[in-house]
Amino acid sequence: MPHFIIHCSENVLHLRPAKEIMQSVYNTAEATNLFVKSGAGGIKVRIESFKDFITVNTEDDFIHIFAYIMEGRTIEQKKNLSEKIVGQLNSMFPSVPFISINVMDFEKATYCNKSMM
């Protein structure tokens, strides 16, 4: 169920392969034990790089993750998830000045997927 959508500057993918970055985010999220390990509720990770961007009026590299998770986790759990993922990426990319994440909740009442039909 959780979706981790990684946006990054194109240069980040020259520092490490996309699959390695995605697997690192996947493993870190899985290690929090907040999510099921398989099936429709399992962790999903995607990555998209940008050639053209402005980051705080510069062209400094960046990584930002949009994390969408089902409602029901506490603020502390979401904060821990954020800190763990940013910490992991910071250790992988010490030269990247902007690494961030925001965690947003899906509403159970309005969420629908194919398996629910």
**Cα gap 20→8, rounded to integer Å:** 14
At 13-58, the pLDDT tens digits run 999 999 999 999 999 999 999 998 887 789 999 999 999 999 888 8
Give first-to-last CA distance, the chain, whole Å.
Answer: 16
At 88-108, the pLDDT tens digits run 999 999 999 999 999 999 998
- The pLDDT of residue 102 is 97
- The pLDDT of residue 43 is 96
- The pLDDT of residue 40 is 75
Q: Are 56 and 98 in contact (CB under 8 A)?
A: yes
Q: Are 78 and 25 in contact (CB under 8 A)?
A: no
Q: 44: part of which helix (H) or strand (E)?
A: strand 44-50
What angle (nearest 5°) sits at the alpha carbon of residue 109, between those of residues 108 and 111? 60
pLDDT at 114 over 90: no
Q: Which of 110, 86, 109, 106 is nearest to 41 (CA)?
A: 106
Q: How many domains, the chain?
A: 1
Could you list the residue range(s) of the whole structural domain that residue 44 is in? 3-116
- The pLDDT of residue 65 is 98
Q: Is the pTM of this model over 0.85?
A: yes
Residue 104: CATH number of its domain: 3.30.429.10
**Cα gap 111→107, rounded to integer Å:** 6
pLDDT tier, 68 (very low <50, low <70, confident <90, very high otherwise) = very high
